[in-house]
Structure 1
Amino acid sequence: MLETSGNVRSIDELLDRVRSAAYGPGPAQERIAVAFTTTQAVRHAGRTSGYRNEVLSLRLAEAVGSCAVEPGALPAAALDDCVGATVAELLDHPLLPIRIAALDAYLTHARPHTPANGARPYALPAGSSLHKSRARARAVVDLLPVTRLRTVLVVGVVNSLLERLRTRGIGYIPCDLKGGTTEWGEPVRTDAGAELEHCDAILASGMTLGNGTFEPLLAHAAATGKPLVMFAQTGSAVLPRFLGSGVSAVCAEPYPFFWLDGGPGVVHRYGGAQ
């Protein structure tokens, strides 16, 4: 019997459901045709700092699943491990980013981002990288409640998201494993768990799936009822499965990402403010 809702409480539970074909075709019958990485360096016009991204992506039929990794962290054999392998095999791969990318590819294939599956399309305009970044930030931040927010814990610092929070008059605690400072000179914390008691909502990157830090955020949100909004290039089709189990909203952005093209684009929103 196929699953039609979320309410998944852990990555392991979701993996078990996929292995049992709860969402569609058996993963042992689905093979990855193409594996590739996308590496990006960016410094938006007018910004004082930049950053680098690297993303592993796997192609399954018409779907692409992705997981961000630290630049240079993937071993040289990672792509060879993926090409031609079944989804079932990759769900048991020793590297977490490969497991997440395979899971995302499968769920993007089995549960595409359509209104029938709960997604609401949100158009991104054509324009510069900064213009599109700010447009995406609106799509993400505006999924938070419109009232009773004092401080948001932001896990995975994106300056455009912080800028949008500032525009809305909402305080924030920036947190990222890389540390550093924000565009406004604010220190970036590196331990999200230590900051959970000091916020009344959480805004977190899908990268938390790939580095193993997602489930503590999910557990805290589920236990406290705090809004947990995910912005997801990593695991765009994975995170909607956690709606109702701690995740309150998702801004899903499957490949190709907004920073790859200056033309119009679309993200897909689930839950949150309507």
Structure 2
Amino acid sequence: MKTVDDLLSAVLGGELGPDPAGLTATSVFWVHHGTRLAGGGVTYLNQYVLTRVGASFGGCAFEAGEIGPEICEEASGSPLATLLREAPRPLAMAALDAYLAAVRPHRDAADAEPVPLPAGPPEVRAVARDTAVAGLLDIPPGAKVALIGVVNPLVAAIRERGGEPLLCDFNLRTTQWGDPVSRDMHEVLDAADAVVATGMTLSNGTFDTVLARCRERDVPLIVYAQSGSAVARAFLGAGVTALSAEPFPFSQFSAEPTTLYRYRAATQREKGGS
């Protein structure tokens, strides 16, 4: 599969598991929240739409105003295939994520490395999460690392690994240290030795572009995903080099220990990447 639409077609065709027409999106819910870490000058505003299918959840972030909370009443109880075909893209991605997570839960995946995130305040949990993401980077000192979807602790974690961050975000203009953040994804993709991209690229439709460019340039692509973590996993070894998958409930929604799952493509596992 080369694109997300290819994956969606395979699921709708029953090629990867049960026919989604026979599954129900029991619950659809919508979350809007803000976060400002201690010492930070940025308030992160995030919106998620989430879908439950049986024992699994799927989630996808979206831009403000793209989906309203009324979607919860409209979509809850829908056949999953209906959401995959007809829902706004973020909800369709959440439904696809839920389906793939139900077929192969992260907790049961033999190729997943569970990484426990400690109990504690947001600052502790954010640093632990972003350190785990940066640990998937296998780069020499001074390597240029495109970060598409900027969060300050991850910028710091990339620097601690010896990387030089090239930053891109649609909403953020500078980091807490004053680093400039570009809006031009192609600018950083074309200059990078490695790419780290948020799962939100699945929501805004740029994932296929990032994936294709990394394939063309033969540079590693690491995806860190709360949004569509099981969707991104489907491209592991087919453009995605490594993945940090964080299923719901996400780390920022709990002060208790939770688990994220790290995956590496077979070639990277054989190299013994950290």
TM-score normalised by length of structure 2: 0.93
How far is the alpha carbon of 1:146 from its aligned partner? 4.0
Deviations 1:87-117 (A, max 9, x none): 1111112511111011001111111103545
Q: Structure 2: which amino acid aligns with 1:53?
A: N
Partner of 1:46: 39
Quick check: 1:33 aligned with 2:26?
yes
Alignment check: 8 A CA contact 1:28 1:89 kept = yes
Alignment check: 8 A CA contact 2:60 2:203 kept = yes
Among candidates 210, 215, 222, match of residue 208 of structure 2: 215
Among candidates 95, 99, 115, match of residue 122 of structure 1: 115
Partner of 1:75: 68
Among candidates 141, 153, 156, match of residue 134 of structure 2: 141
| 1:58–1:115 CA distance, 2 compared to 1 (3 A) | closer
How far is the alpha carbon of 1:160 from its aligned partner? 0.6
Q: Which runs of 4+ in 1 moved over 3 A?
A: 114-117
Deviations 1:61-88 (A, max 9, x none): 1111001012332135422332111111
Among candidates 186, 206, 213, match of residue 193 of structure 1: 186
Q: Structure 1: which amino acid aligns with 2:60?
A: C
Please give the residue correspondences for 1:1-274 in structure 2 after superposition, counting only pairs within 5 Å.
8-147=1-140, 150-271=143-264, 273-274=273-274
**Secondary structure of 2:126 counterpart:** helix
Q: Count matched residues.
A: 267
How far apart, CA to CA, are the structure 2 residues paired with 1:117 and 1:24? Answer: 18
Partner of 1:4: none
| 1:236–1:182 CA distance, 2 compared to 1 (3 A) | same
Could you tell me which runs of 5 or more consecutive residues in structure 1 were left unpaired when the two chains were aligned: 1-7
How far is the alpha carbon of 1:118 from its aligned partner? 2.0
Deviations 1:25-75 (A, max 9, x none): 110000111111122111111212221111000111111100101233213
Q: Structure 1: which amino acid aligns with 2:106?
A: H
How far apart, CA to CA, are the structure 1 residues paired with 2:253 and 2:189? Answer: 33
Q: Structure 1: which amino acid aligns with 2:21?
A: A
Q: Structure 1: which amino acid aligns with 2:105?
A: P
How far apart, CA to CA, are the structure 2 residues paired with 1:149 and 1:67? Answer: 33
How far apart, CA to CA, are the structure 1 residues paired with 2:172 and 2:125? Answer: 25
Share of identical aligned residues, percent?
Answer: 38
Alignment check: 8 A CA contact 1:193 1:216 kept = no
**Secondary structure of 2:172 counterpart:** coil
**Secondary structure of 1:189 counterpart:** coil
**Secondary structure of 1:173 counterpart:** strand
Further displaced range: 109-118 or 37-46? 109-118
Further displaced range: 194-203 or 143-152? 143-152
**Secondary structure of 1:35 counterpart:** strand
Could you tell me which runs of 5 or more consecutive residues in structure 2 were left unpaired when the two chains were aligned: none
RMSD over aligned CA atoms reads 1.4
